[in-house]
Chain A
Amino acid sequence: MPRVRVGPADEIQPGQPAFVTHGEIEIAVFRVDDGFRAYRNRCPHQQGPVCTGPVSGTLVATAETDWRLAWVLEGRVLICPWHSMEFDLDSGRRLRAQSERLRAFPVDVNNGEVFVQIGPRDSSAPRRPSV
């Protein structure tokens, strides 16, 4: 499984992913809370450059918020620049449509350097059927 160097860990800041390309696959590495997450820069919707979108939060109203609007997950929601679908940067799953998710890659840090491992597609990750 190829292991691709991304760059120094301290250069990847929240909301500012680092991009690497391996063959035809472009991957973005995000800093999220306790570590790093790597996702393919291709949206499961219409294949837009999802990882170039802003990192933000989202608005919810649930029983836990007593049905009041609450701004949550600030810094953890990736918004696709094409049609604004929202993805949880921690899990790669689309918010409120959990069966759709970004293609994820394992990340490791060695001596302050970030690496991603490019493996075969994780077959457990469903994609939108029609596109």
Chain B
Amino acid sequence: MTRDSRKPLGLDDVFIVDCDVHANEPPEALAPYIDMPWRRSLELLGRGPQRYLDIPGYAPILNLDPPFPDRGLGNRTVTTARQMRDDLDELSIDVGILFPDNLLKIAVFPHVDYAAALGRAYNAWLADAWVSRETGLYGAVLAVPQDPKDAADQIRTYGADDRFVAVYLPVAGLRPLWGDRMYDPIYEAAEEMGLPVMLHSVGIIHPHFPFNLEHVESRIVRHPINHEFALMANLFTMLTSGVPVRYPDLEIVFTEGGVSWVPFCMWRMDKEYAEIPTGAPFLERPPSDYIKEMYFCTQPIEEPERSRDLLTMIDLFDGRDKVIFASDWPHHDFDHPRTVLNMPFDAELKRNIMGESARRLFKLPVPVPVA
């Protein structure tokens, strides 16, 4: 690569892996991939009025807010692989890891068979219409928490397909949390197939902790609770049930929480563990040791007044090779890659965060060097 090493890295100088982009899956798109009677259900849902990521019976959110004048909060969707490729080109992103849109809320469905069928349909739809090595669009196998055995089968099926590089663990409205032993088949399959698990939440109101926020007036209170608090709660339970100990080769990734909550979790859990080690009998080392081995996606990247504080924050959890770029395109709070690239990091750290660490994590093909 020939470039002036004194010049700051530009977007075209680095290989960029975006660990979180969203494919929009309206009910009618999944209908051909789902069994009866659910095919008829999705066809019916597809004929009804559809609000943005707010479709009863498909993307339940319990939206209690009135529409606010002129604030659409960027209700963008990407409905085809072609559109996604074009959008990512526009953003200078080489590789995108796909997550759903509506099915971010799949964990709330009480009907186990419906949820499992939706998960299978989504995975089949991704395989059929979205993922390809040529376009750099890769899938995360949707693991439906309501049916861990079926989810494990899906992980083994699609994990054998090199266009799927991860397992998506839905977090919004989940009960029990991801540390529960009922999910062991999912972790077993993911570890066996060499696929990292990626926890991803979304904004909803739901009776289950920490989503029981129907009494909260402001969206800016609900949003971080829906994301960071939910990730923290799941991380804590995964530690106490020994997920990283029992599945030592399993890589664990947290998306859409930024990074600044990570040091708190380490130190707080170490403190609890010192006082009550019987509360986490599986652990062989302090909790922080395990947290330092996990991965954290950048979005929504913190934008502190002194941007170098972000580097301090990453160093607090030894995260220079564990922080990986995500944009969350096309959602309202997406980060443009230049926002992360322009942080005051050295060139090696920038390359790692923007793509190299993710390339190693997801075992992506080595990119052709950028001219």
What residues of chain A lie closer than 8 Å to B306, measured between beta carbons?
A: 129
Among A56, A129, A130, contact of B70 (Cβ-Cβ < 8 Å): A56
Most A CB atoms within 10 A — which of B70, B74, B335, B338?
B70
The docked-state distance in angstroms from the alpha carbon of A7 to that of B338 is 34
Most B CB atoms within 10 A — which of A47, A57, A130?
A130
Q: How far is the CB of A43 from chain B (nearest CB, A)?
A: 10
Count how many chain A residues have C-beta atoms less than 8 Å from C-beta atoms of the other chain: 17
B150-164 vs A, Cβ < 8 Å mask (1 yes, 0 no):
000000000000000
CB pair B339 A54 closer than 8 Å: no
Decide if the interface of chain A is mainly helix, strand, loop or mixed: loop
Nearest-neighbor residue (CB-CB) of B304 within chain A: A130
Q: Which of A74-131 contact B (CB under 8 A)?
A: 79, 81-84, 128-131
Among B305, B338, B343, B344, contact of A46 (Cβ-Cβ < 8 Å): B338
Nearest-neighbor residue (CB-CB) of A46 within chain B: B336
The docked-state distance in angstroms from the alpha carbon of A47 to that of B121 is 38
Among B70, B338, B342, B343, contact of A79 (Cβ-Cβ < 8 Å): B70
Q: How far is the CB of B323 from chain A (nearest CB, A)?
A: 16
Among A57, A129, A131, contact of B339 (Cβ-Cβ < 8 Å): A131
Among A47, A55, A82, A129, contact of B307 (Cβ-Cβ < 8 Å): A129
The docked-state distance in angstroms from the alpha carbon of A82 to that of B222 is 20
What residues of chain B lie closer than 8 Å to A131, measured between beta carbons?
A: 303, 338-339, 342
CB pair B332 A84 closer than 8 Å: yes
What residues of chain A lie closer than 8 Å to B339, measured between beta carbons?
A: 46, 130-131
| B37 within 8 Å of A (CB atoms) | no
CB pair A47 B336 closer than 8 Å: yes
CB pair A83 B342 closer than 8 Å: no
B334-350 vs A, Cβ < 8 Å mask (1 yes, 0 no):
11101100111000000
| B333 within 8 Å of A (CB atoms) | yes
What residues of chain B lie closer than 8 Å to A46, measured between beta carbons?
A: 335-336, 338-339
What residues of chain A lie closer than 8 Å to B10, measured between beta carbons?
A: none
CB pair B336 A84 closer than 8 Å: no
What residues of chain A lie closer than 8 Å to B307, measured between beta carbons?
A: 129-130
What residues of chain A lie closer than 8 Å to B342, measured between beta carbons?
A: 130-131
B interface, CB within 8 angstroms of A: 69-71, 73-74, 303-307, 332-336, 338-339, 342-344
A interface, CB within 8 angstroms of B: 46-48, 54-57, 71, 79, 81-84, 128-131
Which 4 A-B residue pairings sit nearest by Cβ, starting from the closest?
Answer: A56-B70, A130-B307, A54-B70, A46-B336
